[in-house]
Chain A
Amino acid sequence: MATIELAGLRKEFDGVTALAGIDLRVEAGEVFGFLGPNGAGKSTAINVLLDFVRPTGGSATVLGYDAQADSKAVRERTGVMPEGYQVYKRLTGRQHIAFVIDSKDADDEVLDPLERVGLVDAVDRPAGDYSKGMKQRLTLAMALVGDPDLLILDEPSTGLDPSGVRQIRQIVREESARGTTVFFSSHILSQVEAVCDRVGILRDGRLVAVDSIEGLRAAAGSEPTLRIDAPGVAESDLTAIRALDGVDRASMTDGHLVVGVADRAKFRVLETLEERGIDVADFETTETSLEELFMAYTEDDR
C-alpha cells in the first residue's frame, strides 16, 4: 500500500505556482528523501500532506486518507517536524511532550522520547531558553510520540550540529526498522543519501527525478569509474571485463584501464585482472560528487 500518494498536485499562491502538478507514490516502510533547492516547493507539498495549505488542483492521499477531508485521521498516525515552526517559549520540554501525549491519546512515558533525542537534562526548562538545536531535538521527540506510522521531517537538520545530524539519521534508521515510513526533506543531498531508499528531486514545483541514489547516478551518466594502472592489458582482457556483471564499459585511456562499474563489481574487476595474470600496480575510483549530481538536476538548462 502506498503511504503517500500525490496525483497531479498543484498549488498556486496569488498566481505564483508553487507546485505544478506532482505525481508521487511513497510505499509503506520506505525512507523517502524529498530534495530540492530552497523555494522549490518541498514545504508546500508537505504542508498539503498536513492540510496546512489547500491544493489548487489534484489530490493527496496519506495513509489511505484524503489529506484534506480526513486530515485529522492522517495526523493521528503521523509524527511531524514541520518547517518554520516555533516552540512554546513559556512551556517546558516536559509540558510539550505531555501535550502531544494528551493530544494523541498515546500511552508514552514523557521522558522516553526526550531520552531518545538526548534532551532529558533540559526537561524542566522552558523551551524558550533552548538553543536552536535543542528546539529541533524537542520537536523530533514530539514527532516520535505515539509510535507513528509515518514520520514527516521537513528540513530536520537545520540548526543541528554534526552529532545532532547523526542522531537524526540514527533515529530515522530505528524508526524505519520498526516499519515506519519516513518522508524526509532537505536541500542537501548528502544528508538524505545515507538513509534514504529513494529520493525525489523537486525543482520549480516539478518533480524532475524519482529514483534510488544509484539509479539517479546511472541516469545522470555519473556512475563510479575505476581507473587502473595495469601495464599489458590486451583487447581480450577488455572483453573479459566487459562481460562481467555490473560493468558498463571498459577502455584503455592514457595508458590506464578505465572501467565504468557499479560498486559491488569493483573487486570482481580487480580479481579478473589478477586471474588473467595482469599485475595491478595501482587503482583509484572516481565518482561524480553527490553535490554535482544534485546540481545537474536542479540547475541545468534554465
Chain B
Amino acid sequence: MSWQAVARKDFQDAIRSRSFWVISVLFCLLALGVAIAYGVFTDVFGADRTVAGLVFLLANAISLFIVITAILVCYKSVAGERESGSIKLLLSLPHSRRDVIVGKIAGRTGVLAVPTIGGLLLGLVVGSALIGQVDPVATALLLVVGLFFALTFVSAMVGFSAMTGSSAKAAALTLGVFFVFELLWDVVTLVLVFVASGFTLPSPASYPAWIYPIMQVPPTSAFLSTLNAVVPGGTTTPAPVDPSTFEAFYASPWIGLAVLLVWLTVPAVVGSRMFARADL
C-alpha cells in the first residue's frame, strides 16, 4: 500500500527533528509534574482523589501541548516539501497525491503518538502510584481519546499545510487557525453572547443554550468534552454552560466528538483537493 510507504518514510524523517524531542521532553515533564502535584497536594485537590480526576487534570494540561507539538511537527509537512523540492522525489515514485496526504497524516500521528503515550503513561503511572489507585478503564480511555485527538489535530494541520506551496504561508495559516480557534475563541463566544443579548453581557448562568456547541469548536474543548462523554466519573464540564441544564439535540458532551470529526476530515479533504490540483 502506497500511503504506508509514505507514512514510514515520513515517520523516520519527522522523528529525527531535534525541536520535536525538546518539546517531547517538556511534554513528559509537564505530565509528570501534574501527576505529582495531584498526588501530593491534598489540600488543593481534596482527599478523595481518583484516577478519573487525574485523567481530566492531565488531559487539561496536555491538550494545548499536543496542539502546539502538532503544529510544530506538521505545518511544513506538505508545503515544506513543495518549497524545497523534495516533493518531486516523493511524487516521482508511484504515489498519488492523496496517498501522500494520508501517509503524512499517518506518519506524523505516529510521531506525535510517542510523546502523547509516553507523557500520559508516565503521568498516569506516577499519579496512580501516589494516590494508591489503579483504574485501567480510565487510563486506557485517556490514551485512546488522547491519540484520537493527536490524529485529529495532525490531520487538520497536514490539511492546512497542503493548501499552499510556501512554508511561510503554511506557518501563517496554521498559527492563524491556532490563534482564532484556540486562543481567541473565548472572546469570539463572548462577543456572540454579547450581540445576541442585545449588547449586554448576561451572567454565565443565563447564557443562551446555543452557545454550548459553539464553545466546543476549539479542538482542545472538543477533546475535553469527548473525554467527558466517554470516561465514567468525569468531573469537569466546560464552564460556564452545563449541557445537562437544557434540552437540545446538541446538549451532550458527545457534541465534542462530532466537532473532532469535523476537524479530522474537513481541512484534510479541502487541503488534499487543493494539493491534487496544484502545479508543483
Contacts and interface: CB of A to CB of B under 8 A. Distances in A.
Contacts, number: 79
A47 B92 CA distance: 10
Contacts of A103: 2, 5-6, 93-95
Most chain A CB atoms below 10 A, which of B16, B84, B92, B277: B92
A50 B91 contact: yes
B95 A47 contact: no
A83 B92 CA distance: 11
Interface string A85-101: 11110110001000110
Q: Is the interface of B mostly helix, strand, loop or mixed?
A: helix
A67 interface: no
Contacts of B95: 72, 75, 103
A53 B94 contact: no
Contacts of B86: 85-88
A258 interface: no
Interface string B79-97: 0000011101101111110
A277 interface: no
Interface in B1-21: 2, 5-6, 8-9, 12-13, 16-17
B2 A82 contact: no
A50 to B, nearest CB: 6
A99 B94 contact: no
A143 B89 CA distance: 9
A99 B11 CA distance: 12
B94 A91 contact: no
B194 to A, nearest CB: 45
Contact of B92 (A73, A82, A90): A82
B280 interface: yes
Nearest to B6: A103
B98 to A, nearest CB: 10
A51 B100 CA distance: 14
Given A72-B95, A95-B9, A102-B9, 4 more contacts: A75-B95, A82-B88, A100-B93, A102-B5
A-B complex: 8 closest residue pairs judged by Cβ atoms = A80-B92, A82-B88, A86-B84, A90-B16, A103-B93, A53-B279, A102-B5, A75-B94
